[in-house]
A = this chain, B = another copy of it.
Amino acid sequence: MVHEGRKRVIIQHVKPEIEGGTYPIKRVIGEKVVIEADVFADGHDAVAASVLYKSRNNATWKEVTMNFIENDKWVGEFTVKELGMYYYTVKGWINHFKSWQKAIKKKYDAGSDITIDLHVGVDLITQASQKASGSDQKKLEEYADHLKNGDKEQAVLIALNEELGELIDNYKDTEFATLYGKELTVVVDRKKALFSTWYERFPRSRSPKSGKHGTFKDCEKLLPEIGRMGFDILYFPPIHPIGKTNRKGKNNSLVAEPDDEGSPWAIGSDEGGHKAVHPKLGTIKDFERLVHKAKEYEIEIAIDLAFQCSPDHPYVKEHPEWFKWRPDGTIQFAENPPKKYEDIVSLNFETDQWHALWEELKSVVMFWIERGIRTFRVDNPHTKPFLFWEWLIKEIKDAYPEVIFLSEAFTRPKVMHFLAKLGFIQSYTYFTWRNTKREFIDYLTELLHTNEREYFRPNFWTNTPDILPEHIQYGGKPASIMRLVLAATLSSNYGIYGPPFELCVNEALSDREEYLNSEKYEVRCWDWDSPGNIKEWIVRINKIRRDNPALQTTWNLKFYEVDNDYLLFYGKATEDLSNIILIVVNLDPFHTQLGWVRVPLAELEIDPHQPYLVHDLLSDDKYIWHGERNYVELNPQISPAHILRVRKRLKRETDFDYFM
């Protein structure tokens, strides 16, 4: 038999809850957790429910009342304020006093005799007053007296008194309350986990002004311009020594010329491995100086965690047991048949020595944390075991909850989601391959309005060293600007790989989405100020993001109606509607597109009878709109998008002041 048979309340379908509570949900500081649950009991008694929550650092449960919505669903919420972990659960109980209130009202209205019911009420109040003390106790005693001594009309009014209900609630009998069986977890990250602006750059790239191979010192000189463009994370592909065995030549050729520098992802040589830096980039000290210097520009340096080795990596000699060896005594190179990666050997996570391997890889992360790094872009996490990542991220974040891991997994949807579920803080997405209106709406709806929203934080990239998307290859500068606006306004986390992006580089290997003369295999020389660059667009868009809190989250995105399939119309607003941004993007980089948008007036609390101002923050143009349907026209050669800040008419403003 059960331990306590008098627990009559059932709590089910608590949301959010990921895989029965096995994995945490994610929030950043200041975000809300809205919890819903089905809470019900047998019979007709009144039910009550609350959310219990606590942070890891403050072990006392706090309680917030849940409100009944409909169909046995209750909702409550709290806001996370501390970095680290929060826990939450749900409590439900029978509210006997409220049941009594409901019954007495119905009986009184039906003209039934309530004499004895009033006595029952006196007993309930007296029970509460015995638990209370001080003024509460006194008040409750007074209520009981009034109920006993007043006439029926008075008594009913007292019975239904709201203050009385609340008072009793403070001394409620929750002996037989039901606690939801699980304590669910929230991982709370810093705000940057939700609002970040990434710039990827190979530190070895050189400028026409500098020498042959870029250095950390050269990178210091780039900081002011990267800061001016509005980026707050500068991410470097691997900065470690590069192997020499089977080094790749330009354009991924199998034979390297003597002066070829190789792929930075072929990590490790006699000059060191994952804890060393490439001598041509400088020293660890130079790197630390750069990290420090970047902070002056509010830029954080992110590095790449690529857990793989060149055949020359020190691990190969020191820990042959961490690699796969073939029957002929040679090492097993990385391959995804028939593709081969001759300059790389994979770590063998099925080794008996997996324990030592895991610890070593953790020590790599710790090494860079000790050098000031708090953000890691993780290369191909889907080719290393899930259990390893789950363990690693948990270990690191237990000690450094501010650390961000970005998962670079371009693979099958369930694998991508699972990596996010097990702990990755941000994730690459399929954005790069979404082009049509239908595709954007479907994909964003999936990201925002399914369970994924609780654990998968998208980071939209316009391009990467691995992906020169078709639309940028063919759509020229208008396409680049269009993709920039989409990435930067659909998602609050976004990134570009520069300078190719802002220089609108579009030369690809034939029939592929791969850059011609890719920086992955050679040192490129970029003239950052060459004509046709879109740096000023980037400056403007990143400023708009910084100035408008509505654009600093992804979760508030809504798509709206526009009667042209080449136009995408969407909006973001702060919860208090003090900042409302409407965006129209022309998805056709070749032709002017026009149409009528339908502004959701009621949702945005815009007076349908008054004109309102929309201010295009991209062009600085202003338009006076009126009502739901308004005309838009976008010539991609001029601007492929409107980013409109809505200014509603304020009371007592004169038209003159308002439209100035």
Contacts and interface: CB of A to CB of B under 8 A. Distances in A.
A102 B337 contact: yes
Contacts of A209: none
A388 interface: yes
A386 B72 CA distance: 15
Contacts of A338: 106-107, 109-110, 112
Given A42-B384, A42-B386, A327-B123, A8 B349 contact: yes
A6 interface: yes
30 contacts: A1-B355, A1-B391, A5-B349, A5-B358, A5-B385, A5-B388, A6-B349, A6-B350, A6-B385, A8-B349, A8-B386, A8-B387, A12-B418, A40-B412, A40-B415, A40-B418, A42-B383, A42-B384, A43-B383, A71-B412, A71-B413, A72-B415, A103-B335, A103-B337, A106-B337, A107-B337, A110-B338, A112-B340, A116-B328, A122-B327
B330 A116 contact: yes
Interface in A68-106: 71-72, 102-103, 106
Interface in A342-399: 349-350, 354-355, 358, 382-388, 391
Given A1-B391, A12-B19, A414 B71 contact: yes
A120 interface: yes
A38 B5 CA distance: 38
Nearest to A17: B20
Give the dominant DSSP class at A's interface: mixed
A530 interface: no
Contact of A326 (B116, B350, B354): B116
A72 B418 CA distance: 12
A467 interface: no
Contacts of A385: 5-8, 42
A638 interface: no
B107 A350 contact: no
A545 B337 CA distance: 57
Nearest to A414: B72
A473 to B, nearest CB: 27
A2 interface: yes
Interface string A98-132: 00001100110110100010011011000000000
A317 interface: no
Nearest to A39: B414
B328 A387 contact: no
A20 B103 CA distance: 37
A456 to B, nearest CB: 14
A52 to B, nearest CB: 20
Nearest to A381: B42
A386 B10 contact: yes
Contacts of A176: 350
Interface centre among A123, A327, A355, by most B CB within 10 Å? A327
Nearest to A329: B116
Interface centre among A2, A107, A120, by most B CB within 10 Å? A2
A336 interface: yes
A385 B41 CA distance: 7
A391 B7 CA distance: 13
A382 B387 CA distance: 44
A330 B119 CA distance: 12
A10 B389 CA distance: 13
A1 B5 CA distance: 39
A12 B231 CA distance: 38
A609 interface: no
Given A44-B383, A109-B338, A112-B338, 11 more contacts: A1-B391, A5-B354, A8-B350, A10-B386, A10-B418, A38-B414, A40-B412, A40-B415, A43-B383, A72-B415, A119-B326
Contacts of A7: 385, 387
B328 A119 contact: yes
A358 B20 CA distance: 31
Contacts of A384: 42-43
